[in-house]
């Protein structure tokens, strides 16, 4: 059991906090610039809340689950204990990384047991603590270096954030034509499920893969927004390579 | 029960043929320019096979499941019966469309019962026949017009073909860094499953959505190929809009 300070009260802090107390760790304090968010999450975690980092308590370590752009400034203010951040991209000279490879929405339940956690720290004591904590909440814990973590996060942006944007573009096209997004759901689920057993490259389908040039031209013409035309052309070229 | 000629012996022809005979229709003949493919599929469907359209038999209708670019030329050679093609994009002056909204790989089993079928034809008799046949193999049959079908297919290209390409790009990045694509699978499945209950736009996450500008810049720098940098930038802009 570890005593942990949770910095941040957004999607990641929310899910990690709940999993950590489920695994019998103790969240001493939730610190967030937003008093409402800090208070709300602290209540769920049976923790104190605070809006100012200068009032941070003592604990085994602090978990920094804030936007990437704020991590350096937050970490520079923590002097009294080790810390780790939850970002896939940020590399710090001190502290560690405790990176859950998953997409988090506050109101969507997620079983962290199956979420890969990627852990690293320059200090071996901290690394061991982080590994133990990760293993207490997930069955898939990886010790990877910073370069690997950054590539993994980049790959996750393509595989998750960008594929979701493709769904959103499709949804927008259907809305304009009075078609129900429901129609596309079996296709989206089937496409994702295929990668359980097959390499995505090996199961690529569609006009680009088949080199149906007339269809490709027609589809570019059907798109009204210039940005969407450009995305269509670039990805089509990428598939054909 | 209908007597059907199947033109084409690729992924779509394969899956449709098997479903049609399961639903007690009869495939009289499989016609494909590739003798080996025609013979292989015909055997599975207990049908004759042929490589030349001039030798087409008589049946209730012909189902044209060939590459989009070949559909017009094939349809022009069918004089003895009604026909329908299986493409989301092609619009013909005659005949009908019998479009299964799904991604087909020859060796991956697919239950067509839950696949949306989009049917249309200018001739009402043909349309009724196609609707009946579609309903005999799927519980989700839609009668939509040509404009809607073309938009639906375009949306499917984004939601399926392009999201799969995002998976493939991610796979390529991991391979270069000696990381196992296995690590990304829970993330991909979670991302797709979310759209069962939520609008994709409402659950968008990631550096672009959070406007983590430093991370976005770092990730563009991490990408080595110019094409991938451009795809990253365009989709990031699209998410931020």
For B7-33, write each residue's pLDDT tens digit: 999 999 999 999 999 999 999 999 999
Over chain B, what is the mean pLDDT? 95
H or E stretch at A97? strand A96-100
Residue A111: half-sphere exposure toward Cβ, Cα within 13 Å: 6
Mutate to test the interface with A, among B11, B138, B160, B174 (most CBs of A within 10 A): B160
Backbone angles phi, psi at B52, to 5 degrees: -115, 130
Cβ within 8 Å, pair B212-A186: no
Domain boundary among B94, B120, B144: B144
Mean pLDDT of B226-235: 97
For A163-192, write each residue's pLDDT tens digit: 999 999 999 999 999 999 999 999 999 999
Cβ within 8 Å, pair A164-B200: yes
Q: Do B164 and B71 lie in a common domain?
A: no
CA angle (A52, A57, A62) in 5-degree steps: 85
Residue B195: list chain A partners with CB under 8 A. 167, 181, 185, 188
Nearest CB among A155, A161, A197 relative to B184 is that of A155
In whole angstroms, give the CA distance from residue A62 to residue A27.
10
Cα B162 to Cα A105, A167, B104, distances in angstroms: 23, 9, 15
Residue A89: list chain B partners with CB under 8 A. 207, 212, 215, 218-219
Q: How far is A108 from chain B (nearest CA, A)?
A: 8
Q: What is the pLDDT of residue A138?
A: 97
Domain of residue B205: give its range. 149-240
List Cβ neighbours of B48 (8 Å cut-off, separation of 6 or more): B28, B29, B30, B42, B57
In a domain, A113, yes or no: yes
Whether residue B50 is predicted with pLDDT greater than 90 in this model: the reply is yes
pLDDT bucket at A106, cuts 50 / 70 / 90:
confident
Quick one: A193 exposed, middle or buried, by C-beta within 10 A (0-12, 13-18, 19+)?
middle
Q: Do B128 and B36 lie in a common domain?
A: yes
Q: Do B99 and B7 lie in a common domain?
A: yes
Q: Do B110 and B13 lie in a common domain?
A: yes
For residue A197, the tally of other CB atoms under 10 A from its CB is 8
CB contact at 8 A, B156 and A184: yes
Q: Do B18 and B107 lie in a common domain?
A: yes
Over chain A, what is the mean pLDDT? 95
Nearest CB among A115, A173, A239 relative to B155 is that of A173
Cβ within 8 Å, pair B185-A196: yes
Nearest CB among B87, B219, B237 relative to A89 is that of B219
In a domain, A172, yes or no: no
Q: Do B26 and B102 lie in a common domain?
A: yes
Q: What is the pLDDT of residue B103?
A: 86
Nearest CB among A171, A177, A238 relative to B165 is that of A238
Nearest CB among B11, B163, B196 relative to A163 is that of B163
Residue A87: list chain B partners with CB under 8 A. 215
Mutate to test the interface with A, among B86, B187, B229 (most CBs of A within 10 A): B187
Q: Which chain A residue shows the shortest CA-CA distance from B200? A: A168
pLDDT bucket at A91, cuts 50 / 70 / 90:
confident
Query: A25: helix, coil or strand?
Result: coil
CB contact at 8 A, B58 and B37: no
Cβ within 8 Å, pair A163-B191: yes
Cβ within 8 Å, pair A156-B187: yes
In a domain, A115, yes or no: yes
The sign of the torsion formed by the CA atoms of B18, B19, B22, B27 equals negative
Q: Do B79 and B184 lie in a common domain?
A: no
List Cβ neighbours of A57 (8 Å cut-off, separation of 6 or more): A5, A28, A29, A48
Mean pLDDT of A141-146: 93
Bridge-based pairing of strands B3-7 and B26-31 is parallel
pLDDT bucket at B4, cuts 50 / 70 / 90:
very high
Q: Do B158 and B70 lie in a common domain?
A: no
CB contact at 8 A, B50 and B37: no
Whether residue B107 is predicted with pLDDT greater than 90 in this model: the reply is no
Whether residue A157 is predicted with pLDDT greater than 80 in this model: the reply is yes
Q: What is the pLDDT of residue B189?
A: 96
In a domain, A84, yes or no: yes
Q: Across the A/B interface, how many CB contacts are shorter than 8 Å?
A: 339
CATH number of the domain that B224 lies in? Answer: 1.10.1040.20
Q: What is the pLDDT of residue B192?
A: 97
Domain count, chain B: 2
Quick one: A169 exposed, middle or buried, by C-beta within 10 A (0-12, 13-18, 19+)?
buried
Residue B164: half-sphere exposure toward Cβ, Cα within 13 Å: 29
Mutate to test the interface with A, among B113, B142, B200, B210 (most CBs of A within 10 A): B200
The three-state DSSP-derived secondary structure of B58-81 is CCCEEEECCCHHHHHHHHHCCCCC
CATH number of the domain that B43 lies in? Answer: 3.40.50.720
Q: Do B21 and B76 lie in a common domain?
A: yes
Nearest CB among A166, A203, A241 relative to B105 is that of A203
Domain boundary among B84, B119, B144: B144
Q: What is the pLDDT of residue A103?
A: 86
Q: Do B170 and B224 lie in a common domain?
A: yes
Whether residue B106 is predicted with pLDDT greater than 80 in this model: the reply is no
Q: Do B177 and B116 lie in a common domain?
A: no
Q: What is the pLDDT of residue B218?
A: 94
Q: Which chain A residue shows the shortest CA-CA distance from B90? A: A215
Q: What is the pLDDT of residue B109?
A: 84
Q: Do B118 and B45 lie in a common domain?
A: yes
pLDDT bucket at A241, cuts 50 / 70 / 90:
confident
CB contact at 8 A, B173 and B184: no
For B163-202, write each residue's pLDDT tens digit: 999 999 999 999 999 999 999 999 999 999 999 999 999 9
Cβ within 8 Å, pair B230-A227: no
In a domain, A95, yes or no: yes
Whether residue A93 is predicted with pLDDT greater than 90 in this model: the reply is no
Query: B83: helix, coil or strand?
Result: strand
Name the least confident of A131-135, B99-103, B124-128.
B99-103
Cβ within 8 Å, pair A204-B156: no
Q: What is the pLDDT of residue B93?
A: 86
Domain boundary among B91, B115, B144: B144
pTM beyond cutoff 0.80? yes
Mean pLDDT of A89-113: 89
Cβ within 8 Å, pair B222-A187: no
């Amino acid at each position: 059991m570890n005593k942990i300070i949770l910095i941040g009260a957004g999607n990641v802090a929310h899910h990690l906090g709940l999993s950590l107390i489920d695994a019998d760790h103790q969240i001493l304090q939730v610190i967030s610039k937003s008093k409402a968010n800090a208070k709300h999450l602290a209540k769920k975690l049976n923790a104190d809340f605070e809006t100012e980092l200068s009032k941070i308590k003592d604990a085994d370590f602090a978990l920094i689950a804030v936007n990437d752009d704020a991590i350096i400034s937050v970490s520079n203010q923590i002097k009294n204990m080790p810390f780790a951040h939850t970002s896939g991209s940020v590399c710090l000279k001190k502290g560690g990384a405790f990176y859950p490879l998953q997409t988090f929405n506050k109101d969507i339940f997620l079983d962290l047991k199956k979420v890969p956690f990627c852990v690293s720290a320059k200090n071996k004591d901290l690394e061991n603590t982080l590994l133990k904590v990760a293993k207490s909440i997930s069955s898939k814990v990886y010790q990877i270096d910073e370069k690997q973590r950054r590539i993994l996060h980049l790959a996750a942006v393509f595989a998750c954030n960008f594929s979701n944007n493709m769904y959103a573009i499709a949804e927008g096209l259907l809305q304009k034509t009075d078609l129900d997004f429901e129609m596309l759901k079996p296709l989206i689920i089937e496409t994702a499920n295929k990668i359980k057993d097959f390499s995505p490259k090996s199961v690529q389908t569609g006009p680009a893969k088949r080199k149906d040039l007339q269809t490709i031209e027609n589809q570019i013409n059907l798109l009204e927004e210039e940005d969407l035309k450009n995305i269509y052309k670039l990805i089509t070229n990428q598939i054909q390579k």
